[in-house]
Structure 1
Amino acid sequence: MAEADVAWFADAWERGSIDYYLTLARGISPRELAERLAGGPVEQLPDMTPDDAYVRVDLKSVYTVGRMAVVGGWSLLVETGASYGMHTPPEASRDGVELLVLDPRQDAPPSSFAYLKDGELLLYQPTSSAYDRGGRQPDVLLSESLAAGLVTAGGPTHEEMYAPADGLDRRTIHMLGDRFGLHLPKEIVDEAALPAVVVRTSPPSTW
């Protein structure tokens, strides 16, 4: 992991200033990732910045615009607008593909992440509490969470149960960055004009 690549994102995430969804895939191209999330072919758009994507989403004929890149061996889709986020269908990770979904959930906190692989949701976890995890293998990142101080062996202490969750979002992103070797350079994720596609032309079924 390039520490600086993740540090800005972790800090912005903790401040609540990330208003897009990140889905990272290992084993398929960015366009195939977009097509799996769209459920079929996607419409190509001109290269777009986050601001361009925001303007393009009208919640009438375009609900989601995805900006695409490859970073650190992961295919990256930055989605502006409506996204499945933590409800990403497990089928999108079929055929041995790994997916990591970072869902800011600004409209319905807490924020969360999901880890899917080979057609299964292995782990869903709010970034504010590693004790509330679920999925087919909820302990798949337990050793990393213990090492990062996100959980305590034997369950939450009395202090943890009543202490504010300050810093947990940021530390969770750093844990994921270390575990998956993530590179999230600000100049790409948050600034660059990237190849873009229309991912959704109608609301997600979770709306």
Structure 2
Amino acid sequence: MPVGEDRTREDTVLTADISDAVGDTGGSGIQWLAHWDGWFVSLTFARGIAPEELAARLGALPGIRPGPLGATDAWSMAGETVDGDGVARVGRWGGWSFAVEHGMPSGAERLAEVSWGGVEAVHLDPQPDHPPRQFAYARDGELLCCFGLGEECWRGGHQPDLLLPELVAAKILSPDGACARPEDEPCEERDRLTLAVLESRFALALPRHLIEDTPLPAFVTCTR
């Protein structure tokens, strides 16, 4: 998509319709996700592109714009899509565009594509049916670092040790990359510590009401 004046107009249209979904971090962070029983949606963040461009890079089907949807309606629509399709609700918060992905998450498959052209992209997947929760970070077309929350000792990507200093400082890992947390620590607290590292490193924040309640511009996305 072109940048410049046309992009500014697109941003204005999006933000005018979702004023509640545009703002600074507001102190919300992302640590609250660890203790949220309703975390069933994948979250994809992108810094350097507008929300509509994020939707396009996630595989938004052209010409299908169901209008602003809340979570309940988005889940209903996701249930009506064909296998491999999902619904992404998009907005911008704290300097990042974000997509709340209902159904099949495109962000898990397309994160490197989302990050083309110097863009940063973060994907958080709750994996409710196949724990643990997953984190991935890409920049400029490359998947740099990924791991499961609670399994930070097994890291992938082109720079698997990218977050090792922060994970060691938070006493999640030892300097040699081994687990440093007590074996009997509750999973939610362990996940919160890792989310705190991600929150601090990438300045991530997303208020719960945006995920649960706020009608956001929605797109049908295809992972195939």
Deviation readout 1:142-175 (Å, 9 max, x if unpaired): 1111122211112426x75855563221211111
Maintained 8 Å contact 2:46/2:114: no
Deviation readout 1:183-202 (Å, 9 max, x if unpaired): 211121222111111112xx
Maintained 8 Å contact 1:2/1:182: no
TM-score (norm 2): 0.79
Maintained 8 Å contact 1:110/1:127: yes
Residue aligning to 1:9: 33
Structure 1: distance between partners of 2:51 and 2:63: 12
TM-score (norm 1): 0.85
Maintained 8 Å contact 2:61/2:220: no
SS of 1:8's equivalent in the other structure is: helix
- State the Cα RMSD in Å: 2.2
Q: Which moved more, 1:160-169 or 1:140-149?
A: 160-169
Counterpart of 1:28 (choices 34, 49, 53) is 49
Q: Does 1:115 align with 2:143?
A: no
Residue aligning to 2:65: 44
Maintained 8 Å contact 1:5/1:186: no
Q: Does 1:53 align with 2:71?
A: no
Matches within 5 A, 1:131-146: 131-146=153-168
Residue aligning to 1:72: 94
Letter in 1 for 2:30: V
- Seq. identity, %: 36
The Cα of 1:39 is off from its aligned counterpart by 6.6
Runs of at least 5 residues in structure 2 that lack an aligned partner in the other structure: 1-24
SS of 2:79's equivalent in the other structure is: coil
The Cα of 1:10 is off from its aligned counterpart by 3.0
Residue aligning to 1:168: 190
Q: Does 1:180 align with 2:202?
A: yes
Letter in 2 for 1:58: G
Letter in 2 for 1:6: I
Maintained 8 Å contact 2:122/2:135: yes
SS of 1:64's equivalent in the other structure is: strand
Letter in 1 for 2:74: A
Structure 1: distance between partners of 2:29 and 2:72: 21
Deviation readout 1:93-118 (Å, 9 max, x if unpaired): 11101000001111222111100000
